[in-house]
Chains A and B, each alone.
Chain A
Amino acid sequence: GAVVSQHPSWVICKSGTSVKIECRSLDFQATTMFWYRQFPKQSLMLMATSNEGSKATYEQGVEKDKFLINHASLTLSTLTVTSAHPEDSSFYICSALMMTGDSRRNQPQHFGDGTRLSIL
């Protein structure tokens, strides 16, 4: 259980293109989804926290107009990299938190397999 599907797994596109990445929780409902960016040989950098039906909360330094996040349902969040440039090339990973009746218990995040974005 607790499978998160992330699509596409690999994208190569020209500079100026907008790219949409989908994150789906396949067998559970996710109140909250997270979007991370990972640079080579570095840890995950949290970009934003997405809650179903509300605006995403972006971390400091992350441009919300550049990285559009939509969390329209309890099983789907999307990240759109608008007008992507070579410096946006990275590995993007989403994760999802399962809905739980006890909000005080910290549940593990369930991760997708990531999307490698390469902008030429």
Chain B
Amino acid sequence: AQSVAQPEDQVNVAEGNPLTVKCTYSVSGNPYLFWYVQYPNRGLQFLLKYITGDNLVKGSYGFEAEFNKSQTSFHLKKPSALVSDSALYFCAVGQTGANNLFFGTGTRLTVIP
């Protein structure tokens, strides 16, 4: 069975500092990993995905994520946080041949000016 864990409900970071939002997963077979961002009263926006290939994935708005198979992690990172990055971030995992995704519980990122 698939599962996703986002251990931090809330992450606070100062503007200009690097940010990390953590995600670990459990899946049988090869994982497909996604990060989405949600702004208030909006749906989810796709940031980036890992399917195969380079472990470091670059996505939208300067975000990147590193796939670590041994640690079963897919942490989201950004070198320099912006106030506008403040939002709710979801990690999700899927499996080969399956279209549905399993979402983590979300991490609320607050970037402090």
Same complex:
yes
Chain B nearest Cβ from A29, distance in angstroms: 15
Q: Is A54 an interface residue (CB 8 A)?
A: no
A46 touches B100 (CB 8 A): yes
B1-39 CB contacts (< 8 Å) to partner A: 32, 34, 36
Interface string of B87-113 (1 = CB under 8 A from A): 000100010111111011110000000
Interface string of A77-104 (1 = CB under 8 A from B): 0000000000000010111010000011
Q: Which of A9, A41, A44 has the most C-beta atoms of chain B within 10 angstroms of its own C-beta?
A: A44
Q: Which of A108, A113, A114 has the most C-beta atoms of chain B within 10 angstroms of its own C-beta?
A: A108
Q: Point out the residue from B45, B51, B96, B100 that lies within 8 Å of A34, measured CB to CB.
A: B100
In the bound complex, how far is the Cα of B96 from the Cα of A34, in angstroms?
18
Q: Is A60 an interface residue (CB 8 A)?
A: no
- In the complex, what residue of chain A is closest to B48 when comparing beta carbons? A108
Q: Is A32 an interface residue (CB 8 A)?
A: yes
B41 touches A111 (CB 8 A): no
- In the complex, what residue of chain A is closest to B46 when comparing beta carbons? A108
B44 touches A111 (CB 8 A): yes
Q: Is B43 an interface residue (CB 8 A)?
A: yes
In the bound complex, how far is the Cα of B103 from the Cα of A42, in angstroms?
10
Chain A nearest Cβ from B103, distance in angstroms: 5
A106 touches B32 (CB 8 A): yes
Q: Which of B41, B44, B97, B103 has the most C-beta atoms of chain A within 10 angstroms of its own C-beta?
A: B44
A44 touches B42 (CB 8 A): no
Q: Point out the residue from B43, B104, B105 that lies within 8 Å of A111, measured CB to CB.
A: B43
B94 touches A106 (CB 8 A): yes
- In the complex, what residue of chain B is closest to A93 when comparing beta carbons? B43
Residues of B within 8 Å of A46, CB to CB, are 100-101
A44 and B41 in contact, given A32-B99, A97-B99, A104-B97 (Cβ under 8 angstroms): no
- Pick 10 A–B contacts, CB within 8 A, sort by A: A97-B99, A104-B97, A106-B32, A106-B51, A106-B99, A109-B46, A111-B43, A111-B45, A111-B46, A113-B43
